[in-house]
Amino acid sequence: MRKMKKTLTIIAFALGSTAAFSQQDPQFSQYMYNKLFMNPGYSGMRQALCFTAIARQQWAGFDGAPKSGVFSADCFLPKIRGGVGINIMYDQLGFENNMGYRLNYSYHQPLGGGILGIGLEFGAFSKRLGPTGTQAWLATSNWQNDQSIPPQLKKTVFDMGFGLWYQRQNLWFGISSTHLPASSLSGQSSSMIVLPNPTPQTFSLTYQIARHYFVTGGYNWNINGGAWELRPSFLVKSDATITSFDLNVTALYNQRFWFGASYRFQDAICPMIGFMLPQAKATSNEMPGGGLKVGFAYDYTTSNLKNYNSGTFELLLNYCIPIVIPVHRQGHGDVRIFD
């Protein structure tokens, strides 16, 4: 019974024959190292072939807590004056299992001494809703008497998004929206309630995927002759119902190590550390940013949930291969490409 109370599925299938829910995409504390996930306009902005993976265990010790991850890859292609990319996302929360698959393209346009990326993404969003048998308390039959827990719903729908990304030397800014179709996933099925006289129960479910909006920006400030960089940034994320606001300051030393922290308003304090293993530059035309990055973040919960979990753990892996661009074909001028 204690586990039942802790389980996030109390988010509640409303009692009755019909229930409706809205979607909230997973959040990542190390958002500044995977800008592609929230904005397709960022594709190819590093003038490199890059791969990024983030795995997140939220609210450790909280039965049914979110487990999220994203794999992203993008590549700069001079022949199409921009970049292409892919995002694959998973998110598990109690009875919910979500998967997202998105292909994107960004057209790069020189503007005001910087580069404007105009991005589109297309793909699919898949949801599975209902008991899966993986939770320990499902070994009992008590939950089967609860009419607020329906049988499974499995649906896949078309998805798309749009984003604008601008960067100039050490400044970057982006605005974007995902889940533009705002599709509804609906279904109807029956289950057998375990009672002395079992009676089939019919459930009608409607799950509304909400549009998400992202506004983010930051600045890389060189200090102490360039050995240190101070990198303040922010992220505002909203589904027009719930809005989260992250403020981050990270210090990078000698292009090798970084440490910093974020504050997510009314939710968490998030210290983070990481290191970089840059690739040696083969030519003067090879852009910075290549090599391996490993990062770790820990979210200390500041809301009332702090009494029920041991914090959130997040691991980042990133690897980039710089793309050498002939001088006569470079279109980014003196814009510094950075992560």
Q: Structural domain boundaries of the chain?
A: 2-10+25-193+200-329
**What is the per-residue pLDDT for 251?**
95
Q: Is the pLDDT of residue 258 over 70?
A: yes
What is the average pLDDT across 36-53?
A: 95
Please state which of the ranges 79-88, 135-144, 200-209 shows the lowest mean pLDDT. Answer: 135-144
What is the average pLDDT across 245-260?
A: 94
**What is the per-residue pLDDT for 95?**
76
> Would the CA dihedral through 147, 148, 153, 157 be positive or negative?
positive
**What is the per-residue pLDDT for 65?**
79
Q: Is the pLDDT of residue 22 over 50?
A: no
CA-to-CA separations, 177 to 45, 70, 120, 213, in angstroms, rounded = 18, 17, 10, 4
Residue 145 is given by DSSP the state G
**What is the per-residue pLDDT for 202?**
64
Give 203's pLDDT tier (boundaries 50, 70, 90): low
Between 234 and 286, where is the model more confident?
A: 234
Please state which of the ranges 78-82, 126-130, 143-147, 333-337 shows the lowest mean pLDDT. Answer: 333-337
What is the average pLDDT across 145-158?
A: 72
What number does CATH give the domain 2-10+25-193+200-329? 2.40.160.40
Decide: helix, strand or coil at residue 92. strand
- Return the C-alpha torsion angle 323, 325, 329, 330, nearest 10: 80
Q: Is the pLDDT of residue 76 over 90?
A: yes
Between 256 and 12, where is the model more confident?
A: 256
Give 216's pLDDT tier (boundaries 50, 70, 90): very high
Q: Is the pLDDT of residue 21 over 50?
A: no
234: exposed, middle or buried (Cβ count in 10 Å: 0-12, 13-18, 19+): middle
Tell me what the pLDDT averaged over the chain comes to.
Answer: 81
**What is the per-residue pLDDT for 198?**
59
**What is the per-residue pLDDT for 313?**
94
* Confidence (pTM): 0.82
- The residues facing 127 across adjacent strands are 98, 155
CA distance 71 to 50: 11
**Nearest to residue 130, comparing CAs of 165, 106, 155?**
155
**Nearest to residue 275, comparing CAs of 250, 292, 299, 297?**
292
Task: Write out pLDDT tens, residues 264-309.
Answer: 998 899 999 999 987 755 433 333 457 899 999 999 988 877 777 7
Q: Which residues are within 8 A (CB) of 322 and not within 5 positions of it... i.e. 6 or more apart?
A: 47, 48, 279, 281, 286, 287, 288, 289, 290
- Give me the helices (H) in the chain, please: 2-6
Report yes or no: 181 and 147 within 8 Å, Cβ to Cβ.
Answer: no
Backbone angles phi, psi at 34, to 5 degrees: -145, 70
- The residues facing 278 across adjacent strands are 291
Q: Is the pLDDT of residue 2 over 90?
A: no
**Nearest to residue 188, comparing CAs of 158, 155, 142, 159?**
155
